[in-house]
A and B are shown apart, each in its own frame.
Chain A
Amino acid sequence: MSVVTGPRRLSIPRRVAVDAADDGSPKVVDSRIVDAVRESWLVEDRWWTDRPLRRRYWEVVTTCGRDEVVFQDLESGRWWRQR
Chain B
Amino acid sequence: MFVSVIACVLLPRFQLMIAAGDRLELLREPVALAPAAASGSGTGAAQQVGEVSLAAEAFGIHPGMRLGEALARCPRLVLVPPDPAGVADFWERLLVRLESIGAAVEPERPGLVCFDVSGLLRLHGGIDGVIAVARRALRTPARFGVAPSRFAAVAAATRARVRRPEIVAGASGVRSERVDARAQARAYLAPLPVALLRARPMLADLPEPLERLGVKTLGELAAFSPMALADRFGKLGLVAHDLASGGDSALRPRPASEYLRESLELPEAVSGLQLERGLGLLIDRLIARRERRGRTIRAVVISAVLVEHGGTWREQVVFRDALADPVRMRLALAPHLALMPAPAEALRLAVERFGGPASDQRSLLQDPAAARAARLREAIRQARVAAGPDAALRVLEVDPDSRFPERRAVLAPFEG
* Interface positions of A (Cβ within 8 A of B): 1-2, 4, 6-13, 43, 45-46, 53, 55, 82-83
Minimum CB–CB distance for A69 against chain B, Å: 8
B259 interface hit (Cβ, 8 Å): yes
| Interfacial chain B residues near A46, Cβ < 8 Å | 268
| Interfacial chain B residues near A4, Cβ < 8 Å | 261-263
B240 interface hit (Cβ, 8 Å): no
Closest to B393 in A: A8
- Flag if A43 contacts B408 (CB, 8 Å): no
- Flag if B291 contacts A7 (CB, 8 Å): no
- Flag if A43 contacts B259 (CB, 8 Å): no
Instruction: Give the 4 A-B CB pairs with smallest separation, nearest first.
Output: A11-B405, A7-B410, A8-B411, A10-B409
Within 385-407 of B, Cβ neighbours of A (below 8 Å) are at 390, 393, 395, 398, 403-407
- Flag if B404 contacts A10 (CB, 8 Å): no
- Flag if A6 contacts B265 (CB, 8 Å): yes
Minimum CB–CB distance for A37 against chain B, Å: 19
Say whether, besides A2-B261, A4-B261, A12 and B406 are in contact (CB < 8 Å): yes
Say whether, besides A2-B289, A46-B268, A11 and B261 are in contact (CB < 8 Å): no
| Distance in angstroms between the alpha carbons of A55 and B289 in the assembled complex | 38
- Flag if B96 contacts A10 (CB, 8 Å): no
28 contacts between A and B (CB under 8 A): A1-B96, A1-B259, A2-B259, A2-B260, A2-B261, A2-B289, A6-B264, A6-B265, A7-B264, A7-B410, A7-B412, A8-B393, A8-B410, A9-B409, A9-B410, A9-B411, A10-B395, A11-B405, A11-B408, A11-B409, A13-B406, A43-B403, A45-B268, A45-B403, A45-B404, A46-B268, A53-B404, A82-B405
| Interfacial chain B residues near A1, Cβ < 8 Å | 96, 259
Residue with the greatest number of chain B CB neighbours at <10 A, chosen from A1, A43, A55: A1
Closest to B260 in A: A2
B281 interface hit (Cβ, 8 Å): yes
- Flag if B404 contacts A43 (CB, 8 Å): yes
Beyond A10-B408, A82-B405, 7 additional contacts (C-beta under 8 Å) are: A1-B259, A2-B261, A7-B410, A9-B410, A12-B406, A13-B406, A43-B404
| Distance in angstroms between the alpha carbons of A80 and B404 in the assembled complex | 13
| Interfacial chain B residues near A43, Cβ < 8 Å | 403-404
| Interfacial chain A residues near B406, Cβ < 8 Å | 9-13, 82
| Interfacial chain A residues near B390, Cβ < 8 Å | 8
Minimum CB–CB distance for B280 against chain A, Å: 12
Minimum CB–CB distance for A53 against chain B, Å: 7
| Interfacial chain B residues near A45, Cβ < 8 Å | 268, 403-404
| Interfacial chain A residues near B263, Cβ < 8 Å | 4
| Interfacial chain A residues near B404, Cβ < 8 Å | 43, 45, 53, 55
Within 61-89 of B, Cβ neighbours of A (below 8 Å) are at none
| Interfacial chain A residues near B393, Cβ < 8 Å | 8
| Interfacial chain A residues near B405, Cβ < 8 Å | 11, 82-83
Closest to B267 in A: A9
Within 357-400 of B, Cβ neighbours of A (below 8 Å) are at 390, 393, 395, 398
| Distance in angstroms between the alpha carbons of A64 and B289 in the assembled complex | 46
| Interfacial chain B residues near A10, Cβ < 8 Å | 395, 406, 408-411
Closest to A46 in B: B268
Residue with the greatest number of chain B CB neighbours at <10 A, chosen from A7, A8, A45, A82: A7
